[in-house]
């Protein structure tokens, strides 16, 4: 684009902005007008630390071949081979003891309220997370029966928008 055209477009934009009737508050400095404050002691910008990996999901296909190893439910769901997943093993791999997040605690509490055996919150949480991954459609009824109503209710509490949430909800309606 020619320089003259750019200038004409700029002048036109300014003229249109002036005609819009929009009042612009010039009493406060704009964000772009303020220079960032840099501490002389620390001139290198700090990077955010990598999020901590809490879980490892080892997902396999019907023939037992490895689909992949993932570090979050979102990664499992986003896998290009998600529809081939028939089983996922979920292991806690975080540093230190398995302390549940508020979301995980809510899911465990929902499962306990639905009749899950109290005592092993960590194990119950892992079963709930596994129920959120993907279950082999050919054996879905048997698999969900193995999980039980409490774990499925916990899974829907933890991940109500999971790809298989509709399947879990439909199964619950037949069981309750």
The string of pLDDT tens digits covering residues 5-61 is: 554 655 555 555 555 555 545 454 444 444 455 555 556 666 665 567 899 999 999
Determine the pLDDT at residue 30: 45
Q: Please state, in angstroms and rounded to a whole number, the distance separating the CA atoms of residues 141 and 138.
A: 8
As given in the structure block, the two tokens for residue 54 are 């809490």
Rounded CA gap, 46 and 91, in Å? 32
Question: What is the residue extent of each domain of the chain?
Answer: 55-175
Burial annotation 77-110 (CB, 10 A radius, 16+ → b, else e):
bebeebeebbbbebeeeeeeeeebeeebeebbeb
Taking residues 59-70, what's their average pLDDT?
95
Give per-residue pLDDT as tens, 108-126: 999 999 999 998 999 999 9
pLDDT of residue 116: 95
Token pair for residue 67?
């689909």
pLDDT value for 34: 47
| Short-list 176, 132, 122, CA closest to 154 | 132
- What percent of the chain shows pLDDT beyond 90? 63
Backbone phi and psi for residue 150, each to the nearest 5 degrees, phi listed first: -60, -45
């Amino acid at each position: 684009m020619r320089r003259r055209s750019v200038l004409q477009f700029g002048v036109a934009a300014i003229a249109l902005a002036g005609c819009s009737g929009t009042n612009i508050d010039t009493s406060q400095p704009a964000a772009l007008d303020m220079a960032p404050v840099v501490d002389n002691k620390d001139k290198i910008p700090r990077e955010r630390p990598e999020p901590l990996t809490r879980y490892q999901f080892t997902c396999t296909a019907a023939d037992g071949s490895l689909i992949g190893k993932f570090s979050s439910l979102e990664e499992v769901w986003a896998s290009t081979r998600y529809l081939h997943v028939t089983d996922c093993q979920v292991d806690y791999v975080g540093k230190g003891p398995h302390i549940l997040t508020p979301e995980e605690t809510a899911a465990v509490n929902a499962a306990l309220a639905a009749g899950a055996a109290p005592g092993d919150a960590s194990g119950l949480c892992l079963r709930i997370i596994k129920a959120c991954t993907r279950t082999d459609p050919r054996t879905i009824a048997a698999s969900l029966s193995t999980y039980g109503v409490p774990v499925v209710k916990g899974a829907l509490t933890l991940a109500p928008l999971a790809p298989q949430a509709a399947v879990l909800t439909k199964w619950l309606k037949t069981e309750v």
